[in-house]
């Protein structure tokens, strides 16, 4: 699935075709992983997650089939940002619940369930923030297709020199997935640098979720398993 060039009032938008296969594959793998993890803490039922992922995949497929139609690009952006916001709030709620279990009622939950819950939270954290970064930066694929001139939210180092840079190079989903992964593992920028306040705020929230998950929840579960 890829997005073709589209027309606007100022002429054709100079964008490269951007495949939707990778975000679709990441969504499917994540849903499968969350479905098979045993005994994890869940606030939103699993079937709701399946419906949300299906809605995102449908809009991305429509974007690909219509070769980047502006209306479907707008719908894709709205659906992804809406569900990302909901699931980030859900992740924070699940993490709060598990921190309460770890600090106050650890005996009420098995170590295996606590560990599987922490894995689910960490994976979902990386996935939804990568999709959110992809859609926020410079208006997302929708903004780039419309030819909107918006300020960069992140500065990517690749390619480092103008002579090595293709004339139509731009970050794609894999770049934002890598950014989200780095933010969740290093708790700080390691590749792309945030240059807007909203980019810094998003990375702050993602790194805080990851830090609490690893330091408090995972460490307590591993400690209990090894004892």
Domain boundaries of the chain, sorted by first residue: 14-226
Q: Which two tokens stand for residue 86?
A: 């909901």
Averaged pLDDT for residues 58-76: 89
Residue 17 pLDDT grade (very low, low, confident, very high; cuts 50, 70, 90): low
Does 20 score more than 60 pLDDT? yes
- The neighbour count for residue 29, using CB atoms within 10 Å, is 12
In this prediction the pTM is 0.83
Q: Residue 159 pLDDT > 60, yes or no?
A: yes
**Contact indicator for 209, 125 with CB cutoff of 8 Å:** yes
Mean pLDDT, the chain, rounded, equals 81
pLDDT (average), residues 104-119: 71
pLDDT band at 107 (very low <50, low <70, confident <90, very high): low
pLDDT bracket for residue 119 (50, 70, 90): confident
Q: What percent of the chain has pLDDT over 90?
A: 32
* 222 vs 93 pLDDT, higher one: 93
Task: Report the distance separating Cα 133 and Cα 136, nearest Å.
Answer: 5
Report, as an integer, the average pLDDT of 107-122: 75
> Which of 104 and 57 is assigned the larger pLDDT?
57
- Does residue 227 or residue 215 have the better pLDDT? 215
Looking at residue 54, its pLDDT comes to 93
User: Is pLDDT at 222 greater than 70 in this prediction?
Assistant: no
Residue 71 has pLDDT above 80, yes or no: yes
Over residues 139-155, the mean pLDDT reads 80
Report the half-sphere exposure of 53 (CA within 13 A, side-chain side).
20
Q: What pLDDT, in 10s, does the model give residues 34-66? A: 887 777 777 888 888 899 999 999 999 999 888
The answer to whether residue 151 scores a pLDDT higher than 90 is: no
């Amino acid at each position: 699935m890829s997005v073709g060039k589209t027309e606007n009032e100022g002429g054709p938008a100079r964008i490269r075709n951007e495949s939707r296969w990778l975000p679709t594959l990441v969504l499917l793998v994540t849903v499968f992983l969350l479905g098979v993890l045993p005994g994890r803490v869940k606030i939103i039922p699993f079937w709701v997650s399946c419906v949300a992922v299906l809605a995102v995949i449908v809009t991305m497929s429509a974007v690909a089939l219509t070769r980047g139609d502006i209306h479907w690009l707008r719908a894709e952006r709205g659906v992804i940002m809406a569900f990302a916001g909901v699931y980030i709030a859900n992740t924070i709620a699940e993490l709060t619940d598990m921190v309460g279990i770890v600090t106050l009622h650890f005996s009420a939950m098995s170590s295996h369930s606590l560990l599987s819950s922490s894995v689910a939270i960490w994976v979902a954290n990386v996935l939804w923030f990568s999709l959110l970064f992809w859609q926020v930066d410079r208006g997302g694929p929708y903004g780039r297709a419309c030819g909107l001139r918006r300020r960069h939210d992140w500065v990517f180092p690749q390619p480092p020199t103008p002579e090595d840079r293709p004339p139509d190079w731009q970050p794609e989903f894999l770049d934002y997935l890598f950014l989200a992964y780095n933010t969740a593992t290093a708790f700080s920028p390691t590749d792309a640098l945030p240059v807007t306040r909203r980019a810094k705020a998003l990375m702050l929230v993602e790194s805080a979720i990851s830090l609490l998950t690893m330091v408090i929840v995972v460490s307590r579960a591993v400690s209990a398993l090894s004892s």
